[in-house]
Structure 1
Amino acid sequence: MFNLNPMILATLTKDKMIISYGQCATQFFFFTICAATECFLLSVMAYDRYVAISNPLLYTAAMSPRRCWCLVAGAYGGGLFGAILRTTCTFSLFFCENNQINFFFCDLPPLLKLACSDTTNVEIIIVFFGNFVILANALVILISYMLIIKAIMKMQSSGGRVKTFSTCASHLTAVALFFGTLIFMYIRSSSGKSLEEDKIVSVFYTVVIPMLNPLIYSLRNKDVKAAFRKVTGRFQVSQSLQN
């Protein structure tokens, strides 16, 4: 979901990087809309899997093209609203003369540290909305998978259970990686936060996870699985020959 910002990549390769106030706000806005939209889309995908597993014969009727478009539009609408709210609140603050951002890109934690004005009200609004988005979508995903497990347990064949649940493996992996880093970054106690830790985590969910997502989702493809086994088999053979 995340698009790698060229300025982020440039920052990783240089000691210093200059970004204007407008560019910082723009980067912050699009980063937020991508993150919030992905939260909503992951919960929509969980609901889609629940419908497909619990009512496979009625899936086409239950998930009609119109309903799918409405769900996707709702996800992007929620992301857009969150980005507007978060960006407006953050950049309504007054920033000090010391405008060096100790981060790879314009994110909330380092920007709040630069603010000279009182950030209490802004933090309450941003933290409340951010936590609501993360926890609400995590709850939807949790309930969806509880219902999925309930539907799977009703199946007679154990092989069918494993095969059905394996279709959710890629989505569960993406959910665990994405929500795990978001919770670590934004929901954990502020007393235990370290900006250096946040910098490492930010690279993980802006660079590493987007690179892994295509691999995670494509592993369901039979051709990709066969190619992956072929590569790992060659690697094991070469290792045994060296030993």
Structure 2
Amino acid sequence: MSSFQIFTPKEITSLRHAGKILAECLELMGSLVAPGITTKELDRAAEEFIRKHDGATPAFMGYHGYPATLCTSVNEQCVHGLPGDRVLEEGDIISTDCGVLYNDLFTDACRTYGVGNISKDAKHLLTVTEQALKDAVGVIKAGTKVGDISATVQGTVEGAGLSIVSALTGHGLGKTLHQFPDVPNYGEKGTGPKLPANTIIAVEPIVCTGKDGIKEADDNWTITTKDGSLSAHFEHTLLILEDGCEVIA
């Protein structure tokens, strides 16, 4: 698909419901993240939380064969970290990326949390990455071009002395987990497709403290920074409105 999907009022109601479940799930993850918990335990809690809502299922599970509910990316891991026996330690950071499928509609969101007391550099990374997402949300409305979002994220991140992980981008979603358009985290204002009202996009700054560059781990899922630097990831599913946007999750 290379055109925007426009959603009906009924579909938007379903997306809002899915987004509410997802946002509450990520809040739960934030309350559980602590030294001593394993990423598998977080994943199990997320799956149980989603499935207790009638009709809701984990959107990532089975997607291209992905075996879990969450992506749990720790420290230098950027995205797609597989939950397992890893025990979180004081000073780690962890990105909990999750999706909810409801009435055949997808939502997708991520938060990065500190584990106990974290370093000054890690705090700066989390603060800037989250701010980049907030700044992007602030420029989005019907008629905004994708490049306006990209340039906003890039400006916030690079202005704070950090690096965009350029190979990883936001995207349209709704009927599928990833669809038109791609929403890069770098670019020029006034370029790219123009957003119509009642479409859905995921905006997701993925940022690192070192240099841009990624590599794939041996598990064929986890993507890490090439130089081993810390990476953070914040993501919202957004509904485009005539006069702004609504955070769905």
- State the TM bucket, normalised to the shorter chain: under 0.3
Please identify the structure whose Cα radius of gyration is greater.
1
TM-score, reference length from structure 1: 0.28
The structure richer in helix per residue is: 1
The structure richer in strand per residue is: 2
